[in-house]
Amino acid sequence: MFKKVLVANRGEIAVRILRACEERGVETVAVYSDADRNALHVRYADEAYRIGPPPSAESYLRIDKIIDVAKKSGADAIHPGYGFLAENDDFAQAVIDAGIVFIGPSPEAMRLMGDKISARNTVIAAGVPVVPGTAAGLHDEEIQAEAAAIGFPVLIKASAGGGGKGMRVVRTPAELEPSLGAARREAKNAFGDDTVYLEKLIERPRHIEIQILGDKHGNVIHLGERECSIQRRHQKLIEEAPSVAVNADLRARMGEVAVKAAKAVGYYSAGTMEFLLDQSGNFYFLEMNTRLQVEHPVTELVTGVDIVKEMMSIADGRRLRWKQEEIKHKGWAIECRITAEDPINNFMPSGGVITTLQEPTGPSVRVESGIYEGFEVSLFYDPMIAKLIVWGENRAEALLRMRRALNEYRIGGIKTSIPFHQQIMNSTQFMWGTFDTNFLQDRFSVSLIERPEMELSAAIAAALVAHGKGQQATVLSPAAAQTGSAWKRGAGWKR
């Protein structure tokens, strides 16, 4: 195993990786910008080095500075975490060229699967189902002709994009031309590339992803699915493992396809195949994330596999410790992303000093955080400051445990997404599991939340226990939500 690992990231994910290294007896190196001089990951690491001023382009995105620190500190491996340079094949190649091990996939696999068009063509050749769409690089006139053949509604997507940038839904031919212009401009500004393509819009799908692990000896397995449909502007906010929409047969078929796609590019390390699942149970390849995912803890909790440690072992050249048939799933896990945003005010970023911090504890509650009392939350970076993850023997217990943990969570000095998550956990449709990627947009409204009364808690508890046992939970019917005294309107359920 490596003697010293540099973590090329910040915040909660940097702390997560540093902890994994410590458990392996590996020395650690942190890097930081001026805004993060007193950050938790800086305090946690064995060594820490400044790499520049607060803007990411001058610090966390500077390949040369990070590699210089690695050489100076004697680090023999670099873990990129997620975000920043995690899916940058130039960074991975530069690390390798410097004689340092990159804890992640090969630059070739990152390059191939990082571009949505090449990824699409690769998986098509491997027999993986994809959403009907066009090739990239077409002129607007060609795209308009293809759109008519595909049939509206369609989705414009940036070839080099992610996070909803350069993406537009087009429902009529008249909307196509202006939407193309807007998508190209946004893609150019965000990625320096205005290449776009079209896909048929799958109405009200679920977003399901499959976690895979591959080693450098050609072995690839999957760890099951995660439900990632609770999204705002294409950004995931809540994740679960497993998914209420996936049964054993569908899980096996999606997993088989994910493994096949990974093998087609000689993939090793941790990665995720993302799919859209339509209302008829058909699934389509969406994209591959060639890195560790924010939501990896839910998979760890239901499988017992430490994905970060496995990434380190794979990078060290070791074979996978498991065969596919040895991966067993137990219980249910849910993750809430805690962000420094005001959900009542359209999720506006909220910076400032943390004046109070009380993190939830108790059975099967896990908090991954990058903050502490007195820490100043900067507006320079992604607003996610922590992740709250719980495990239960079934979905009912996991939901009740998450409600309890959220009620215990206290972060003072800034606005956070905790009230939003409380409302989601009190939403009848979320408890039913009858949501899709349009749920927040079409059927949920954020409002000032009151602390749940005992009567409401008792109703939820009874309904969830019934749900967990596969019984009819009549208390959760829409009629009961509108007329029953146990349910208060405005607590996250929108008629």
* Mean pLDDT in residue range 283-302: 96
Can you give the pLDDT at residue 446? 78
Burial category of 398 from C-beta neighbours within 10 Å (exposed 0-12, middle 13-18, buried 19 and up): buried
Comparing 26-40, 123-137, 213-227, the range with the smallest average pLDDT is 123-137
**Residue corresponding to tokens 């993939």:** 267
Angle at CA of residue 1, ends 37 and 99, nearest 5°: 70
Can you give the pLDDT at residue 163? 65
Alpha helices by DSSP H, listed for 219-291, are: 248-264
**pLDDT reading at 476 higher than 90:** no
For 299, other C-beta atoms within 10 Å of its C-beta total: 28
Cis peptide before 343 (omega within 30 of 0): no
* Mean pLDDT in residue range 340-360: 96
Residue among 260, 220, 256 nearest 126 (CA):
260
Can you give the pLDDT at residue 117? 78
| pLDDT confidence band for 452 (50 / 70 / 90) | very low
Can you give the pLDDT at residue 487? 28
Every domain of the chain with CATH number 3.30.470.20 lies at 206-483
Which range has highest mean pLDDT (137-146, 323-332, 451-460)? 323-332
Q: Which amino acid is at 439?
A: F
Residues 6+ apart with CB under 8 A from 92: 80, 102, 104, 105, 106, 107, 110
pLDDT, the chain, mean: 90
Task: Give the rounded distance of the alpha carbon of 366 from its chain centre.
Answer: 17
**pLDDT reading at 76 higher than 60:** yes
- Mind telling me the catalytic residues? 291
For 136, other C-beta atoms within 10 Å of its C-beta total: 20
229 phi and psi, to 5 degrees?
-85, -15
What are 285's strand-pairing partners? 130, 275
**pLDDT reading at 20 higher than 80:** yes
* Mean pLDDT in residue range 282-311: 96
pLDDT digits (tens, 9 = 90+) for 215-261: 999 999 999 999 999 999 889 999 999 999 999 999 999 999 999 99
- The more confident residue out of 275 and 478 is 275
- The more confident residue out of 116 and 74 is 74
Share of the chain above pLDDT 70, in %: 90
- What secondary structure letter does DSSP report for 130? B
Distances (CA, A) of 109 to 46, 100, 118, 137, 386: 32, 18, 11, 22, 30
Every domain of the chain with CATH number 3.40.50.20 lies at 4-103
| pLDDT confidence band for 485 (50 / 70 / 90) | very low
Can you give the pLDDT at residue 357? 98
**pLDDT reading at 41 higher than 60:** yes
Are the C-beta atoms of 162 and 117 separated by less than 8 Å?
no
**pLDDT reading at 490 higher than 70:** no
Task: Tell how strand 196-200 and strand 154-158 pair up.
Answer: antiparallel
Which CATH fold topology does 206-483 show?
D-amino Acid Aminotransferase; Chain A, domain 1 (3.30.470)
Q: What is the pTM of this model?
A: 0.86
Can you give the pLDDT at residue 86? 96
pLDDT digits (tens, 9 = 90+) for 358-413: 999 999 999 999 999 999 999 999 999 999 999 999 999 999 999 999 999 999 99
Can you give the pLDDT at residue 315? 98
Every domain of the chain with CATH number 3.30.1490.20 lies at 132-200
* Backbone CA torsion sign across 217, 96, 69, 385: negative
Structural tokens at position 492 = 């996250």
Residues 6+ apart with CB under 8 A from 141: none
pLDDT digits (tens, 9 = 90+) for 166-187: 899 999 999 999 999 999 999 9
**CATH code for 132-200?**
3.30.1490.20
Q: Which amino acid is at 304?
A: G
Cα Rg of the chain, angstroms? 22
Q: Please say whether the structural domain 4-103 has been given the CATH code 3.40.50.20.
A: yes
For 452, other C-beta atoms within 10 Å of its C-beta total: 18
**Residue corresponding to tokens 């500190």:** 73
**pLDDT reading at 482 higher than 50:** no
**pLDDT reading at 335 higher than 60:** yes
Can you give the pLDDT at residue 483? 32
